[in-house]
Amino acid sequence: MVTSKQVAKMAGVSRGTVDRVINNRGMVKESTRQRIQEIIRRLNYKPSRAGKVLVSHQKKLKIGCIIIKAQNPFYDDLYRGITLKVEEYSSYGIEVIVERVDFCGESQLRSIKTLLNRGINALVIQPMNDPAVAEKLAALARRGLPIVTTNTDIEDFDSLCYVGNDFFTCGKTAANLLDLITGGKCAIGVVTGFGKARSHSDRVAGFREYIAGRPEMRVLAVKENFDDDTKSFTVTRRLIAAHPEMDALFLVAGGVRGAGKALKSFPDRRIRTICFDDVPTTKELIRDGTILAAICQQPVRQGSLSLEVLFEYLIDGKTPVKKKLYTDIQIKLKSNLDL
């Protein structure tokens, strides 16, 4: 392996000077800079990650994470993805501080303040769709804090990148799957979470775009359940009762358990149902055949990947290859549910 020592020796300078050139710190005479550059190129010298990491110990780097804590166990998977990396990074001398917050903008603002007080050098956040939060993040980004949005995006500030699903494509995939299952012919009830939550509405939009090309797939109605199982039960029951011709159900967001209960209360109807995210209660409904498939977004991977991006940035100064790092859209059936 080529080291900076060798480069220095070949160039007849000290390692300090090589370091200045590599990291563009300036303070090097142009001619020696060029000479060193040329040697680096010729030897294909790449600084050792291990050396850098070790030095970074002196900076006591800290990464803050703000993850929603709510009824939905989906968030626990995201959290788990983060904790999976905590130990690894601690062995690299990087502290990861995780704050789990309620589903509200103020909690997030409070957590941001707490983390800043603890001196974080980077932030992972699953941001609420709240102007105050967006504004705060924008201000921090301007101050140079690297921020990764995870699972849900806020577009109006300059984050390092977004790690999560492409919700529009998720919706298309749901429609594609339903197309295959129903032979392209079905009357669909749609139960979404919040009509104005971007992630939910994008899924519905993607779904609609796909079926626009399928004349025999039609949407009977779109109802909101506010991600709540009790409401979901009522809404879904009413939807099924109101449309005797309904033979497919698309569950866009949370409240799957409630919808499942509603489905079971119509044992004589054959309603082919698909939903999102394989939380435990959903898995149960897939196992017992109430739901045929769940479309999943790798929440664990989202958590881990968000930290990986910041690690690269803090240690190597590398910016992610894309502004949107989309995780896979996975289709889970009874047979590939437990892996």
Partner DNA sequence: CTGAAAGCGCTTACAG
Which of 5, 25, 42, 57 contacts a copy of itself by CB under 8 A? 57
CB atoms within 10 A of CB 23: 10
Footprint (CB under 8 A) of a copy of itself, residues 152-181: 166, 169, 172-173, 175-177, 180-181
Side-chain-facing half-sphere of 108: CA atoms under 13 Å: 24
334: contact with a copy of itself by CB under 8 A: yes
H-type alpha helices, 123-272? 131-142, 167-182, 198-212, 229-242, 256-264
Residue with tokens 């501080």: 97
CB atoms within 10 A of CB 240: 19
Stretch that binds DNA, among 55-63, 203-211, 298-306, 328-336 (CB under 7 A): 55-63
Q: Is 44 left (phi over 0), alpha (psi -120 to 50) or beta?
A: left
Q: Quick one: 34 or 319, whose CB is closer to a copy of itself?
A: 319
Stretch that binds DNA, among 57-65, 106-114, 191-199, 248-256 (CB under 7 A): 57-65
Binding mask 78-117 for DNA (x = CB under 7 A): ---------------x------------------------
184: contact with DNA by CB under 7 A: no
Q: Quick one: 22 or 221, whose CB is closer to DNA?
A: 22
Residue with tokens 């590939």: 336
| DSSP letters for 282-314 | HHHHHHTTSS-EEEE--HHHHHHHHHHHHHHHH
Characterize the bridge pairing of strands 248-251 and 186-192: parallel
Binding mask 8-47 for a copy of itself (x = CB under 8 A): --------------------------------------xx
CB atoms within 10 A of CB 271: 22
User: Is 120 in contact with 314 (CB distance < 8 Å)?
Assistant: no
Residue 28 C-beta: closest distance to a copy of itself, Å: 23
Binding mask 118-157 for a copy of itself (x = CB under 8 A): ----------------------------------------
Residue 56 C-beta: closest distance to a copy of itself, Å: 8
54: contact with DNA by CB under 7 A: yes
Contact partner, 230, from a copy of itself, DNA, none, Cβ < 5-8 Å per class = none
52: contact with DNA by CB under 7 A: yes
Stretch that binds a copy of itself, among 30-38, 72-80, 91-99, 118-126 (CB under 8 A): 91-99
1: contact with a copy of itself by CB under 8 A: yes
Residue partners of 77: CB distance under 8 A and separation at least 6: 279, 299, 300, 303
Stretch that binds a copy of itself, among 135-143, 145-153, 191-199, 330-338 (CB under 8 A): 330-338
Give CA–CA dist 5/226, Å, rounded. Answer: 61
Residue 301 C-beta: closest distance to a copy of itself, Å: 10
Q: Which amino acid is at 335?
A: S
Residue with tokens 């590398």: 318
Side-chain-facing half-sphere of 11: CA atoms under 13 Å: 27
List residues near DNA by CB under 7 A. 1, 3-5, 12-17, 19-20, 22-23, 26-30, 32-33, 46-48, 50-52, 54-55, 57-59, 93
